[in-house]
Structure 1
Amino acid sequence: MQAPRPAMVLGGAGVLPFVGLTGALAFGLGDLEQVSGALRLYGAIILSFMGGVHWGVATWRNETRATPYGVSVLPALWGWAMAFVPTTMGLVGLAAGFLLLLSYDLRCVRLGDLPAWYGRLRLRLTLAVCVCLIAASVVR
């Protein structure tokens, strides 16, 4: 089954700030520190949002295990921490956070906790986000 159209459209729209801010860095548009800071802030917000999926699923299922709740909170803490490290490390660290959460998401898809379309959509979007974050860390 294909992802619902709103999920594809809005998920793709969520990648646009990563692309735009990375492009601004690559072409020297705006203040380097402000643009880099905006990219890290947006990355932390989106990473936190993606982790929140697991809180919602756990709540819906009346989950009693701590793991899904912990996984839902860790991305927010990681993203927040990446705001306080040097910029290049923060950008790479955010990419690592997205990839780690993706691996957990794909595990949840394999176990049937999340629909198959979610895994496919997350893979595409996460790869785009990580390319942007790594490219930004290089051009910066």
Structure 2
Amino acid sequence: MAGDEDLRQLARSADVVVFHSPVTDLGGLDEQLEESGHNWRAIEMGMGSSESREQFRRLKAMTGRGTLPQVFVEGRFVGGLQAAKASLNERAGGSTAAAGWMGYLGLLPFLATAIGVWFGPAWAAGWLAAYGAVILSFIGAIYWGLAMSRPGASPEWFYASVVPALVAWAALLVPAIVGLPVIAAGFIGWRVWESREAAGALPRWFRRLRTVLTSGAVLALVGGWLALLPFTGTG
């Protein structure tokens, strides 16, 4: 029926959808959702009109649950507040671990190529610059994806997301002695932009991870650059 399909579309209208009454205490679920950076919405179902009562009747028939609040995650009914919190915590735990592992492993090429510049051939600096350029472009592209997935996101996110790639490309057009500090400055500048313009879109754990990874990348880039200075006659 058309009404049932409309209700299903509402349940899929955000990553997390909370159907609640006007007097529902969300018990901290709203703060958890804001903190995690989820795209979510709350839909109030007052019983003051026949339309609202009919919508609630259809919701009960769809979920088998006779009380509010009712929570949907990615279009799937998960239950009430406690079940929703448990589901979100489980999902966050898996994604946090995966992002952490991949992020820290991503620092290894920075470390290896920076050491290579010190103890290996000078052209290892080109490898360090190339890897830094790839990662700088990658972290900018995160915001293109976020802007596409969040209705109402600022158009500035699309514009800003291509800046790191342009900085990285320009840095590869010049010698590594110039390009390495340019890429390092790109990482620092982008982290500053994130903290000012997009912090609300990122969960706290990811903001902390980004700071640590940015610091590691910048240290490697600057370390490789310092190794080149004796060959330029400026160190």
- TM-score, normalised with respect to structure 2: 0.55
Specify the alignment match of 2:112 in structure 1.
20
Unmatched 5+ residue regions in structure 2? 1-35, 37-92, 229-235
Take 1:12 and 1:85, find their aligned partners in 2: how far apart are those partners? 28
Structure with more relative contact order (C-alpha pairs < 8 Å, separation 6 or more): 1
1:59-100: CA deviations, max 9, x gaps? 001346331011111101110000012211100000000001
Specify the alignment match of 1:81 in structure 2.
170
1:11-40: CA deviations, max 9, x gaps? 00111000000011111x2x312x111111
Specify the alignment match of 1:45 in structure 2.
134
Specify the alignment match of 2:147 in structure 1.
58
Unmatched 5+ residue regions in structure 1? none
- TM-score, normalised with respect to structure 1: 0.90
After TM superposition, the structure 1 = structure 2 runs for residues 1-140 of structure 1, keeping only pairs within 5 Å, are: 4-27=96-119, 29=120, 31-33=121-123, 35-63=124-152, 65-107=154-196, 108-109=198-199, 112-140=200-228
Given residue 133 of structure 1, which amino acid in structure 2 is its aligned partner?
L
Give the ranges of 4+ consecutive aligned residues of structure 1 lying more than 2 Å apart after TM superposition. Answer: 62-66
From the superposition, tell whether residues 67 and 136 of structure 1 become closer, same or farther in structure 2 (CA, over 3 Å): same
Q: Alpha-carbon deviation of 1:10?
A: 0.4
Given residue 119 of structure 1, which amino acid in structure 2 is its aligned partner?
R
Name the % identity.
Answer: 35
Take 1:41 and 1:62, find their aligned partners in 2: how far apart are those partners? 34
Higher helix share: 1
Aligned length: 135
